[in-house]
Amino acid sequence: MIQLQSYVLGGWSKGQAPFRDLVNPATDERVAQASSNGLDMAAVMDHARTVGGPSLRAMSFEERGAMLRTWSKALYAAREALLDVTMVNAGSTRGDAKFDVDGATGTLSYYAGLGKKLGDRKWLVDGESEQLTRNSARFYGMHIRVPIQGAAVHIGAFNFPAWGTFAKAAVSILAGVPVVTKPASSTAWITHEMVKVLTDQGLIPPGVLQLICGSPGTLLDHLGPQDALAFTGSADTGAKLRGGHGPVHASTAVNIEADSLNAMVLGPDLERGSDLYHWVKNSIVLEMTQKAGQKCTAVRRVVVPESLVDALTEDLSEELARISIGDPRAEGVRMGPLNNRAQQEDYREGVSLLSGEGRIVYGDPERESFEGVKDGQGAFASPILLRCDAPLQAEAVHAREVFGPVVTLCVYDGSVAQAAAIVAKGQGMLASTVASSDRKFGGELVFELAPYNGRVMLIDKKVCDQATPHGMVLPNLNHGGPGRAGGGAELGGLRGMEFYMRRVAIQGNRGLLDKLFA
């Protein structure tokens, strides 16, 4: 069995017993072990701050971008091997493995391009400079952004060990801040292999990227005021970290990406059989089945007019019945298992809770029989469609994220006011979609949904054949949502870099400021 090591202090380091097992959730086989016990976390942080930080800050955006480009190319060249590891570690289908691994190389490449555009500079100018007093045309003020002088600690969720790690790393490194990354233990093998590809080719300058496989140990106790913590995972863990020693006592910058009850609202103008209706139907099926619904951005609630709910239930049920679920190595399988048995248990509990406020109209949460596996083997889950006829009176439907292939159809009266009120009950989402070709309805609803979401898609009949899927996170657009979703903001091109760069006001002689910083 593979024993994962951590890449720290310039070399690969073995952890000590006890080890945590990594299990292929399709076969129940133990495939690897990880432990970070015995690592000196204070030294890891120090190495990032004193070795990685200075060398990154000595580089221009263009040079950092060029480094990210080499990473993207090297990982792309190793793509087949990385997809294989993803399939074994996460039990993913090949399509789901590509979604994660290609997301990583794509985001690295995007930030490499941004670095090139930013050119031979080491700071960002923030807004216009301004004359500060009425009688002096010389005394000016301006704002610039400079990289913080600490380290970025990144903690990732199990569902995106590739994209999650490198999307965060790309932004931080382009900003000029070294990274200590800790992926979720259960899928850390994938991240381990990716970092190994880079270290084997000598592509990581000392201290710029360190990897912890296993628990974070005391890592977070060593956070200081110039460090940053970016976390992705459950709201419960996020809340613990926000209140931890480092963040509170040292005022460390914290970014939390957490749970989200994302919504898709179908306008009252939507007609069964139209192109837009097909897009909606296919999108819902994709959101439910891609990565077995284990995407933070996946649609959890579909807000559907009463006049359309029966037809949509029938059409979705037909589509879902066609999806073959099982061991991704078996012929024709399109959906793999959940991440582990605990997630399967959580899915069953969640569906049972939601069933108290709606009724199951498709799927069986206790289903045990799947393609290519013995009955009861693996952490598989049937897609579940629920119908809730009184969503404004429901609570769990809007509060319990079932992290799996589960969607609730929330019936509404077709008005902007009711749709907005239903979506808002989710108390902060990563992404919501409005599917309507009625400009007035779409325009008014987007405005209502905007304060509750990190990203809103407005899809009409003219764009539905070109639109990216609801759950796809793009590096040039904001990712992160208010409230329950954690209140974080990542990516969004330059915007994501702001988290790692301190904005400072500079006052002085206009000519000198222009020379030094403009």
* Residues involved in catalysis: 257, 296
Compute the distance between CA of residue 48 and CA of residue 210 in angstroms, rounded to an integer: 8
Binds ligand NAP by CB under 6 A, chosen from 60, 70, 234, 427? 234
Q: Tell which positions 426-455 bind ligand NAP, by CB under 6 A.
A: 430
> Quick check: 483 and 428 in contact, CB under 8 A?
yes
Pure H helices in 380-487:
396-399, 416-424, 439-449
Task: Compute CA 332 distance to the chain's CA centroid, rounded to the nearest angstrom.
Answer: 28
Compute the distance between CA of residue 152 and CA of residue 45 in angstroms, rounded to an integer: 9
Stretch that binds ligand NAP, among 8-16, 230-238, 404-412, 462-470 (CB under 6 A): 230-238
Stretch that binds ligand NAP, among 254-262, 285-293, 455-463, 507-515 (CB under 6 A): 254-262
Contact flags string 128-157 toward ligand NAP, x per CB under 6 A = ---------------------------xxx
User: Residue 142 or residue 254: which is nearer to ligand NAP going by CB?
Assistant: 254
> Judging by beta carbons within 10 Å of its beta carbon (0-12, 13-18, 19+), is residue 28 exposed, middle or buried?
middle
* Minimum separation from the CB atom of position 445 to ligand NAP (A): 23
Report if residue 258 touches ligand NAP, rule: CB under 6 A: yes
User: Residue 228 or residue 464: which is nearer to ligand NAP going by CB?
Assistant: 228
Compute the distance between CA of residue 76 and CA of residue 97 in angstroms, rounded to an integer: 13
- List of long-range contacts for 344-347, beta carbons under 8 Å, 24+ apart: 344/379, 344/380, 344/381, 346/402, 346/403, 347/381, 347/402, 347/403, 347/404, 347/406
Report if residue 240 touches ligand NAP, rule: CB under 6 A: yes
Residues with Cβ < 8 Å from 440, sequence gap 6 or more?
A: none
Report if residue 355 touches ligand NAP, rule: CB under 6 A: no
Strands 262-266 and 299-305, how do they pair?
parallel
Q: How many residues interact with ligand NAP (rule CB under 6 A)?
A: 28
* Minimum separation from the CB atom of position 312 to ligand NAP (A): 25
> Quick check: 470 and 457 in contact, CB under 8 A?
yes
Compute the distance between CA of residue 206 and CA of residue 158 in angstroms, rounded to an integer: 27
Binds ligand NAP by CB under 6 A, chosen from 71, 403, 441, 452? 403
Stretch that binds ligand NAP, among 158-166, 199-207, 306-314, 502-510 (CB under 6 A): 158-166
User: Residue 174 or residue 296: which is nearer to ligand NAP going by CB?
Assistant: 296
Compute the distance between CA of residue 49 and CA of residue 37 in angstroms, rounded to an integer: 22
Stretch that binds ligand NAP, among 132-140, 255-263, 280-288, 300-308 (CB under 6 A): 255-263
Compute the distance between CA of residue 388 and CA of residue 391 in angstroms, rounded to an integer: 6
- Tokens 């910058």, residue? 253
User: Residue 65 or residue 293: which is nearer to ligand NAP going by CB?
Assistant: 293
Contact flags string 265-304 toward ligand NAP, x per CB under 6 A = -------------------------------x--------
Report if residue 185 touches ligand NAP, rule: CB under 6 A: yes
Report if residue 158 touches ligand NAP, rule: CB under 6 A: yes
Residues lying near ligand NAP in the complex (CB under 6 A): 155-160, 182, 184-186, 215-216, 220, 232-234, 237, 240-241, 257-259, 296, 401, 403, 430, 485-486
